[in-house]
Amino acid sequence: MRHSERCALATRPRCVCTGCGGSLHGWPGYLARAGGGPETVRDLGESAERLWWERRRRHRDNGRRAPTLYLQRAGARVALAALVAWLADERATRNRIGALGTGLHGEVFDRDLRRYASRRAATDPAFADVGKAIVGHFWCDLLVEIARALDLGADRLDQVPQTARAALFEGWEAPSWDRARTALAGAALGFLWKCFQWFAGADPRALALESRVLAAFICPDPGGHPRVAQRALRPLVLDTLGEALGANLEPGWLWGQEPLGLVPDRGGLAS
């Protein structure tokens, strides 16, 4: 069955594509545009900036102080367009992100996670439709926490899946997922980490950056999803994009400052 173009191109701030379980949401379209030539990249950026300045004007005209969801989403579009422009000149990084995305869909979701769910479904019908069980904010949450675990450095690589799992389910803003989705996430983290090990020897900082980019691209609503906005978009805007942005997004104000807290059972600060 042909995959939905609206899902691949992330045309709406939500994803209900149970066929791919969100594993093909957004990122194929963004990477295709990054490799689509200067005009494609420019058009995406200009469209995003027009929307941003219009939302910003309305925000000021209405005398608002706190950012609205519309403004947060418009800012995310600017950041995503800037990431596309940056990746247009970073072929190696673009290819690694593409390889991770392909592995996430083909090996993790469509093979390993389906097999795991099939075994569980023999005794628990909640696992019968894996795509339906994980649609929405799922892969973006996993990728963000893998990135944060990678931030801890090369000497902690063997603990990445466990650290990511603890941060996701015991840390700040743990999602209220049912037992099937929680179990699928735990399994998917282990399967997904195997894809990252394809790049054994790579700088963990580079892998963390690529995981954040993929998280931002695959997220159904990166500007409106606090975990992705604060832990993926904000560091990408501050540390990677910098002056490449055509607008001053003020990410700390727009998406909020992430609170410092302990990574559960690891004794380190989650930053």
- Checking if the pLDDT of 16 tops 80, the result is no
Q: Check residue 8 and give its pLDDT.
A: 54
Q: Domain range for residue 98?
A: 5-270
Residue with tokens 């282990």: 190
Closest CA to 231 of 143, 156, 166: 143
Q: What is the pLDDT of residues 228-254, one digit of tens each?
A: 999 999 999 999 997 778 778 889 999
Range scoring the smallest mean pLDDT among 7-21, 60-74, 180-194: 7-21
pLDDT-based confidence at 271, cuts 50/70/90? very low
Range scoring the smallest mean pLDDT among 36-40, 57-61, 113-117, 265-269: 265-269
Which residues make beta-bridge pairs with 262? 269
Q: Is 180 in contact with 127 (CB distance < 8 Å)?
A: yes
Range scoring the smallest mean pLDDT among 81-95, 99-113, 244-258: 244-258
Q: Give the count of beta carbons closer than 10 Å to the beta carbon of residue 52.
A: 23
* Per-residue CA distances from 248 to 9, 24, 73, 238, 259 (Å): 25, 30, 15, 11, 22
Which residues make beta-bridge pairs with 269? 262
Q: What is the pLDDT of residues 91-103, one digit of tens each?
A: 999 999 999 999 9
Q: Check residue 260 and give its pLDDT.
A: 42
Q: What is the pLDDT of residues 20-75, one digit of tens each?
A: 899 999 999 999 999 999 999 999 999 999 999 999 999 999 988 899 999 999 99
Domain total in the chain: 1
Q: How many helices (H) and strands (E) are present in the chain, helices listed first?
A: 14, 2
